[in-house]
Amino acid sequence: MSNLLNIGIITQARMTSTRLPGKVLLFLGSKPILQYHLDRLQQSNLPIFIATTTNHSDDPLVGFAQAHQIPFYRGDEQNVLSRYYECAKQNNLDVIVRVTSDCPLIDGNLIAAAVQEYLQTPDKQLYLSNCLVRTYPRGFDFEIFSFALLEEAYLKANITSDLEHVTPYINQNKSGQVHFSHFTQPEDKSQYRITLDTPEDFALIRILIQQYKAHQLSANEIIALLDAHPELVRINAAVEQKKV
C-alpha cells in the first residue's frame, strides 16, 4: 500500500449517551473530555474528523468542532455506518482509522505505529485492529480499514447492529473476503478499563488525569501506572461493557 494514500481518523461523538449523558463535553480541569481525546489523537499526525448526528442535542459538539476548526460530518443518529461512509467520502479518505470519542487517553502514537503496520501490506481487504484480539486496555481501541471495505459494508449491510456499530459487517467477515491483522502486545492488559461510559469511569479518568497526568503519558506508561495501583483499577472494575 502506498504512503500517498489519504488516511484519516474519524471519531464518532454524540451527546445522548444513556449511562452518562453529555459525557464527551464533561469538563476535567480547564477542558472537556473531547479536547483530551483530540489532543491525544493529534500525536498520530493524521487528520481528524468528527462524525456526529443531525440532532439538535449535538449542536454543542458542532459548535466545539467549529471553534477548534475540526472538520465534522452530521448524519443519522442510528445509522453510524452511513455517517462514517459519508464523512470518509466527503473527505476523500482512502484509509479510515475508526475511534470513539469516549476514549480521552487513547494513544495517537500507538495509532501511528498501527497505521505504518497496515501500510506494509498492499491489500484493500485488510482490516487491522487492537479490538478483536484484545491485549490493550479498553480505551485504546482503534480499527483501520480501506474505503473499499467501508463502502462494501455501507452498500450491503442491512441489519440494525451492523448499521449502529459501523464495523460488524467488516470484522465479522460477512463478505468472506476480509483479511485480518491483529495489533497486540506481548502481555494481556485487556482487563483494564479507561474508556468513559459511567460515573465510575469518569471518577477513574479524573484521578488519572488530575493526579497522575495520564494525558501526558504513553499507553505503556498508563498500563504501568494501573499495574502499580490496583486501588485505581477497582474504581470501575465492576462496570460491564455494553454488548454490541
pLDDT of 181 > 70? The answer is yes
User: What is the Cα–Cα distance from 67 to 76, expressed in whole angstroms?
Assistant: 23
Residue 17 pLDDT level (bands cut at 50, 70, 90): confident
Residue pair 46/111 in contact (Cβ under 8 Å)? The answer is: yes
**How many helical (H) and strand (E) elements, i.e. helices and strands, does the chain have?**
10, 9
Helices 33-41 + 108-119 axis angle, to 10: 40
Average pLDDT (169-184) is 97
Q: Could you give the percent of the chain with pLDDT greater than 90?
A: 94
pLDDT of 243 > 90? The answer is no
pLDDT of 11 > 60? The answer is yes
Q: Could you give the percent of the chain with pLDDT greater than 70?
A: 98
pLDDT of 3 > 80? The answer is no
pLDDT of 2 > 80? The answer is no
Q: Give the domains, in start order, of the chain with CATH numbers.
A: 7-189 (3.90.550.10)
User: What is the Cα–Cα distance from 45 to 42, expressed in whole angstroms?
Assistant: 5
pLDDT at 119: 97
Residue pair 83/12 in contact (Cβ under 8 Å)? The answer is: yes
